[in-house]
Amino acid sequence: MPLTLTVIRKRLAFMLIFASLALIALTGRVAWIQFVRGEELQKKALEIRTRDIPVEARRGNIYDRNGKELVANASVDSLYTIPLLVKDPQNTAKRLSSILDVEEERLLKILTRKSCFEWLARKLDAQTAQKIKALELPGIFFVEENRRYYPFQTLAPHLLGFTGIDNQGLTGIEKTFEKDLKGVPGRIIIEQDATGQDIPEPIHRYISPRQGRHLYLTVDETIQHFVERELDKIVARYQPKLAVIILMDPRTGEILAMGSRPTFNSNDWMNAPRETWDRNPAIWYNYEPGSTFKIITMAAGLAEGAVKPEDTFFDPGYIKVADRYIRCWYDGGHGSQTFAEVVMHSCNPGFVEVGLRLGVQKFYHYVKAFGFGEVTGIDLPGEAAGILIPEKKATNLNIATMSIGQSIAVTPIQLLTAVGAVANGGTLLRPQIVREIRDSSGSVVKRFQPEPVRRVLTPEAARQVGSLLENVILKGTGRNAFIDGYRVAGKTGTAQVVGEGGGYVTGRYVASFVGYAPVEDPRVAALVMVAEPQGGIYYGSQVAAPVFQAVVRDALHYLKAPKTPGLEKPKDPFVYEEPKFKVKVPNVVNYPVNEAISRLVGAGLTYRTQGEGPEGGIVYGQTPGPGAEVWSGTAVILNLEPPRIRGVGEVTVPNLQGLTVVEVADLLKKLDLHLELSGTGLAAEQDPPPGHRVTRRSTVKVWFRPPGQASQGPPAPADPEAPPAWGEPRRGDFVERP
């Protein structure tokens, strides 16, 4: 049927309308893609054809108060892959496996992933990185990263903290100031086609990272070294569970040094036992402060007028509160005495009476005002608040025991902060760790000022407390803390350890000392806390006071604090007659002389030497013998002359390799053999060798080396200028019972 003109026109109109609608739809779609979704699609296109390689920012450095570098950065290589560019994944995985010490299958899975970036290894050592670079493997690349570096490996590690694999702060200052230290990461952007090949005029952009800010601490590196030195001596002599020393400037609240034991190597923290780095004992360890807390009781009583220095007390040896008897450490009591003498004698009944005079409300007012029962706010993670009986539940018996430092738990930083308030005239300050934050150009971004929390004492009350505490040093239980040329105020403390199920654990104590100097213008306030010292000595006056004396003396000299002319230790000070008690004589045969003396003094005994032995000094005999029961203070005679060998039978020399000095000494003693040692650490070589038959009372030479050091024959002679391997004991200690 022939088409009519009308039909043709209709069809053309229909085609025109259809084409117009299609054009409008296409135009709309193009406009939608170009203008509405253009930015989104462009971003996706860039993601597909670009490779984004992160560039880690350098963390800010950490310096001491004088600008000495404590924490820095070391550049290291990290290994990554772009799987699309790996030509032979199987061969690449095989060649990398032996160098990286990673299973070949695991590497192959990474190399065959459909991704544009995968880490293979982070922060390689220089030798490993060089071996991989020499292979020139396609698709394998390096990027420079930073590893945290601590120049003084074991200097204040709990305070400084450490970082993780991504350079993120995990503990200490590194964690608290993470935002300031971490900086802003950079990027490398590379544009490639779908096959991984470079395209003409590609995007190849480097966005540089921005280094983190630098911290300038309140800590003084030199004073921190004094603290670490004394902590090492404490460990060598007493082998405690924990030990803490903190020094503060009481005028500002600035921490001058903070150290604790056990410790760890900041550069190798991952290989240290978790308990050595998990928490900082200076801010989380809760313990009953014992007599050191009497400073708070004294301050409250003087401030409220509940007691005056000249008030008289009578101590029959105990005081009854409710249905309990609280005894004085001094058998029979001190009798009639002034409050000044109560403080000097650390008399429990006297302090209990002061606490009861104050009553629950006033006593708790001062306990809380001095900051107990709450955190100090120091800029370190993991601070504990201590343990305080709720005021509403407190009884007179609770007040009585708290007055002498029992039934309350404090942290070392809490107690030192409170005593710092007494030292500075009555203002409680928040302890400070950081003085300044500076940017990478050295400009100061933030400066920290002393931060008063509240006034807790009037200057007059604080002065009275200081005067009474000075008498503790001159005439009382703190005599071992006396420093020639300086007026020192302080208090000893000895407290039993509370068990997990409640109640005190027999034979476990916390020895402590807290004080400040010079009294007239305090430059340093310090606390020494030694938890569970071993060896039979556990009194604060014996264990902690001498340590306070040593570290504060050196700090005052270093700070050039002016001395008081003519102030020397009294020749015949008032001291208590040291109570006698039965002790078992420890075995010191085969021990180095210094270690033998340390063990005897630790057991409450004295010593005398007899004869002259070879250089280095080994004890060949002792009188009384091991295990004998004697009174404390008894002198043990140490025979230093090697015995003459007589025909008294033969014994087989045991294998001593890997044993400590103590284990070797005890084992040879049982076999009636004598020890001649050289070096420190674990037994590495011996002469005669194991299995050799020798006459009894023969000498066995043993060479000791630090763990992990290769055995290559006897070591070279010791440096005559090197410090001794065994700490020198302190003498003339005095007793303060809890």
- CATH code of the domain containing 136: 3.90.1310.10
Beta carbons of 79 and 124 less than 8 angstroms apart: yes
| pLDDT (tens digit per residue) in 408-440 | 999 999 999 999 999 999 999 999 999 999 998
For residue 232, the model assigns a pLDDT of 94
For residue 137, the model assigns a pLDDT of 86
Both structure tokens of 500: 């997990």
- Tell me, yes or no, whether 478 and 407 share the same domain: yes
Both structure tokens of 294: 């009497």
Distances (CA, A) of 237 to 494, 596, 616, 643, 733: 18, 11, 19, 29, 14
Domain boundary among 49, 70, 85: 49
For residue 99, the model assigns a pLDDT of 85
For residue 734, the model assigns a pLDDT of 27
- Tell me, yes or no, whether 498 and 369 share the same domain: yes
Closest C-alpha among 278, 282, 347 to residue 311:
347
For residue 570, the model assigns a pLDDT of 54
Q: Is residue 729 part of a domain?
A: no
- Tell me, yes or no, whether 316 and 276 share the same domain: yes
Q: Is residue 184 part of a domain?
A: no
Give the distance from CA 112 to its chain's centroid: 45
Domain boundary among 212, 247, 263: 212
Q: Is residue 563 part of a domain?
A: no
- Tell me, yes or no, whether 106 and 229 share the same domain: no
- Tell me, yes or no, whether 371 and 417 share the same domain: yes
For residue 71, the model assigns a pLDDT of 94
- Tell me, yes or no, whether 41 and 81 share the same domain: no
DSSP state of 626: T
Q: Is residue 711 part of a domain?
A: no
291 catalytic per annotation: yes
Domain boundary among 160, 183, 212: 212
Point out the catalytic residue in the list 260, 266, 291, 512: 291
Looking up residue 403, the CATH number of its domain turns out to be 3.40.710.10
CA angle 307, 311, 313 (to 5 degrees): 100
For residue 187, the model assigns a pLDDT of 78
- Tell me, yes or no, whether 75 and 39 share the same domain: no
Run means of pLDDT, 10 residues per run, the chain, 738 residues: 72 82 82 74 62 78 95 85 83 86 85 79 83 86 82 93 87 95 81 56 68 95 95 93 97 97 91 88 95 97 96 92 86 87 93 96 97 96 95 95 95 98 97 96 94 97 96 90 95 88 81 96 97 87 94 96 79 46 78 74 74 64 83 80 63 82 79 80 85 83 72 39 29 31
Distance CA 248, CA 227 (A): 12
For residue 119, the model assigns a pLDDT of 82
Asked whether the bond before 518 is cis by omega within 30 degrees of 0, the reply is yes
What is the extent of the structural domain holding 45? 5-49
- Tell me, yes or no, whether 339 and 372 share the same domain: yes
- Tell me, yes or no, whether 428 and 456 share the same domain: yes
Q: Is residue 733 part of a domain?
A: no
- Tell me, yes or no, whether 240 and 379 share the same domain: yes
For residue 623, the model assigns a pLDDT of 84
Q: Is residue 392 part of a domain?
A: yes
Q: Is residue 736 part of a domain?
A: no
- Tell me, yes or no, whether 238 and 330 share the same domain: yes
Query: Which of 468-501 are b and which e, b meaning 16 or more Cβ less than 10 Å from the residue's Cβ?
Result: bbbbbbbbbbbbbbbbebbbbbbbbbbbbbbeee
Q: Is residue 135 part of a domain?
A: yes
- Tell me, yes or no, whether 35 and 84 share the same domain: no
Beta carbons of 172 and 158 less than 8 angstroms apart: yes
Query: How many domains would you assign to the chain?
Result: 4
For residue 554, the model assigns a pLDDT of 96
